[in-house]
Structure 1
């Protein structure tokens, strides 16, 4: 149950925080969530990764669909992605998920008592 709560909180705060702070503030929220809701390191990484991965994938799909995939196809042509807008969205979501996952992992490690 904690896993689902962390995924939902990560997505919710990952959406809300950049509205008021800088774009990378989602990493701080992922750190704080993992710090406050204790999980093992792997579970904290996966939950925060998944929360932000899903958020950024959905947001990128919505934005990309609004302009008929024009910009993403041009960017995917510049990058070695073969012009695939969906592969560009995956890379974008994966990058955000990694940042969030490592922030959550750090929060999990900070909470762990010293041995």
Structure 2
């Protein structure tokens, strides 16, 4: 299993489980730490974070939308320019969550690369 796939699965599982009991922003340190430990390349980590958090948010937002028959999402979608389309709001939510997760994972890889580069410069 490749590093990016392993990172994607871990972010998906851990972030989805964490957002059931923690605030929404808890996905950020989770994606950052997992990408710091497992991530090798920036682009792969971003995609793993985007897909992992995005799919997790899509699944949970869809489940909540189905549970209340779309009433709440319809009302919120009327407040923002989505024309009252609750499912479009669910999709926008997943994309925004995916961007947060992807950028956090990218920051984790960049932090690791910066520390590694800094330690190499200090040793020479």
User: TM-score scaled by structure 1?
Assistant: 0.92
2:43 maps to 1:42: yes
Residue in 2 that maps onto 1:24: 25
- Structure 2: segments with no counterpart, 5+ residues: 119-124
Residue in 2 that maps onto 1:106: 107
1:1-54 Cα shifts (integer Å, max 9, x gaps): 222211111111102333454331111010011000032101101111100000
1:63-111 Cα shifts (integer Å, max 9, x gaps): 1001111111111111100111111001111111111111100001011
Residue in 2 that maps onto 1:70: 71
Q: Matches of 1:66 and 1:25 in 2, distance apart? A: 24
Residue in 1 that maps onto 2:5: 4
Q: Deviation above 3 Å: which 4+ runs of structure 1?
A: 18-22
Aligned residues: 115
- Structure 1: segments with no counterpart, 5+ residues: none
Q: Is the 8 A contact 2:7 2:39 kept in 1?
A: no
| Two-structure CA RMSD over aligned residues (Å) | 1.4
Bigger CA radius of gyration: 2
Q: Matches of 2:40 and 2:86 in 1, distance apart? A: 35
